[in-house]
Structure 1
Amino acid sequence: MEWESDERELKAAGAQPLGDGRVGFLIRGWEIESRKRSILNSSLLQQWEEKLQTSHLPEMVFGESSLVLKHVSSGIKIHFNAFDALCGWKQEALPPVEVPAAAKWKFRSKPTDQVILDYDYTFTTPYSGSAVVEKNSKSGRGAADESSCIAHWEDCKEELDMVALASKEPILFYDEVILYEDELADNGVSLLTVKVRVMPSGWFLLLRFWLRVDGVLMRLRDTRMHCTFRENEEPIILRESCWREITFKALSSKGYPTDSAAYSDPGIISERLPIVKRKTQKLIIS
């Protein structure tokens, strides 16, 4: 179901639709736009395989879908897309998760095929978003121009104010964009999504990679970003990355159920997954 904004709340916050068929708003100097498109066709998939130098891609790649947040005056642009995420998967190149022998046959495309899983078939990615600074750009659309540079994220001691984010405040805009998805040959799920929420005080987003290999393990990699709207000042953007992981064997030893059906919603069961890595960073403009 598409999000329906309240016109009165939008007007009170000074938000303006982007127009030209674009989904999103211009608010307090930020262009925030979500783009949801169909999965890549076979021709484009082949091009991606050549660029990524792989013959393996998720079953459903929403290659033209994205979320873009552009601060017009400073040129800061933060965006999320499947290609950059899969570049991260390719570079990290984790060893393949072991699949129970009884389930390996599901990965065959033909009955006579030999199953050799010599790559990370879960498409786990360390991706936490893409960011550039477009000094001379006047529009949030299109690729970065020649004056663009990679934004620098610096570790910091500040943390996201989750209490403030949980306070009741009008939601001016909300959307969720799926970047890629794979059902692991009916052996679980691998899913990368990004959600954005815009309030009168600022914006908040969650990039989530969720993996469940039935009977083997669960992996959750969350990236949260928050920006409070500031008048006539460069924005302060905090980014928190939190990676969690647990095996079904470890769940069983703690007395938790091991039925995969009990773990369909990562938002509900995330606290059962121990933290593997966590850090908070601030966007630095140089």
Structure 2
Amino acid sequence: MAGMEVEIDETDIKAAGGAALSDGRRGLRIHGWEIETSKRSILTSPELQLWEEKLKTTHFPEMIFGNSSLILKHLASGTKIHFNAFDALIGWKQEALPPVEVPAAAKWKFRSQPFQQVILDYDYTFTTPYCGSEKVDTNSEKAGGDILDGGSSVCWEDCEEKIDMVALASKEPILFYDEVVLYEDELADNGVSLLTAKVRVMPSGWFVLLRFWLRVDGVLMRLRDTRLHCVFGENSFPVVLRESCWRECTFSALAAKGYPVDVASYNDPSIISERLPIIKHKTQKLIFNTKTTNL
């Protein structure tokens, strides 16, 4: 879905049984789902201070789009799957990976204290295990779609099924597409740390790619992808699969395999992902609560 420019055809949306969201919101409602993206500017200083208090840290990416989000709501069951920067940073803090060793890091990373020697004691790459947030709200329609505190958790079960990437590559009208940047850090011009969420809606279903992409120039590359695919059901529950794939490799290991190690060769994670070995892979299926769902 990288770099896609999509012309949205209202006729295609109507033919597929969908409708654009009202009140100026970006997204659409289709087959019992409400899909919405919100893209806002980076956090203000007061907002960032509040995040510092909540997350109990003063370490943050350079650019946090804390009010941006991607939300997918299954209206009948109250199931809400959403993607946001705050929850992703909770995951980063909880995982607490050791900092990537970079010889010049003490010189370039700490922009707020450029003339002081500071010890790297946290994961400055903001790598996160985050694969999305979810909740079930049985009163979602009454609450205008908002999740209430009384909601329950969404259930994901491990499965052997795989997302059909071949079917996703078929020529099908794209009813809606958007990309939401959640946070980004250029590692003081020594690489990139980027978390994005992309969504694509077709007549047959929707597809989401949540991607964390890290490149520490000359040292390490890390790619953590979470793909979600929903196949719209006809008089049945929709099938939603979630597939997580983590890849990681050092520049020295790539050089040993004969791959180039210049930074210019590694600007697009979609192109080079196959060069990075898989270190973790898991597929799960969303289990809907049939007692509260009335499709």
TM-score range, shorter chain: over 0.9
Give how far 1:132 is off: 1.0
* Contact 1:252 1:258 (8 Å CA) reproduced: yes
From the superposition, tell whether residues 175 and 62 of structure 1 become closer, same or farther in structure 2 (CA, over 3 Å).
same
* Contact 1:79 1:130 (8 Å CA) reproduced: yes
CA distance in 2, matches of 1:7, 1:170: 11
Aligned to 2:293: none
Q: Give 5+ residue unaligned stretches, structure 1.
A: none
SS at match of 2:152: strand
Give how far 1:3 is off: 4.3
Aligned to 1:27: 30
Match of 1:264 among 246, 262, 267: 267
Amino acid at match of 2:110: R
User: For 1:22-61, what aligned pairs fall within 5 Å after superposition?
Assistant: 22-61=25-64
CA distance in 1, matches of 2:185, 2:114: 21
Answer yes or no: is 1:232 the counterpart of 2:239: no
Give how far 1:108 is off: 3.4
CA distance in 2, matches of 1:71, 1:31: 7
* Contact 1:107 1:115 (8 Å CA) reproduced: no
CA distance in 1, matches of 2:21, 2:194: 29
Q: Give 5+ residue unaligned stretches, structure 2.
A: 290-295
Aligned to 1:85: 88
Give how far 1:226 is off: 0.4
Aligned to 1:15: 18
* Contact 2:108 2:114 (8 Å CA) reproduced: no
Moved over 3 A (4+): 1-4, 139-143
Aligned to 1:216: 219
Give how far 1:142 is off: 6.4
Q: How many residues align?
A: 285
CA distance in 2, matches of 1:14, 1:122: 43
SS at match of 1:91: helix
Identity of aligned residues (%): 71
From the superposition, tell whether residues 143 and 90 of structure 1 become closer, same or farther in structure 2 (CA, over 3 Å).
farther
Aligned to 1:134: 137
Aligned to 1:206: 209
Give how far 1:152 is off: 1.5
Aligned to 1:276: 279
Aligned to 1:175: 178
Give how far 1:136 is off: 1.3
From the superposition, tell whether residues 125 and 141 of structure 1 become closer, same or farther in structure 2 (CA, over 3 Å).
farther
CA deviations over 1:44-103 (Å, ceiling 9, x no partner): 0111011111110000000000000001111111000000000000000000000123x5
Give how far 1:146 is off: 3.8
RMSD, aligned α-carbons = 1.5
Aligned to 2:198: 195
Structure 2 length-normalised TM: 0.93
Give how far 1:141 is off: 6.1
CA distance in 2, matches of 1:273, 1:78: 28
Give how far 1:111 is off: 3.9
Structure 1 length-normalised TM: 0.96
From the superposition, tell whether residues 140 and 222 of structure 1 become closer, same or farther in structure 2 (CA, over 3 Å).
farther
Amino acid at match of 1:100: P
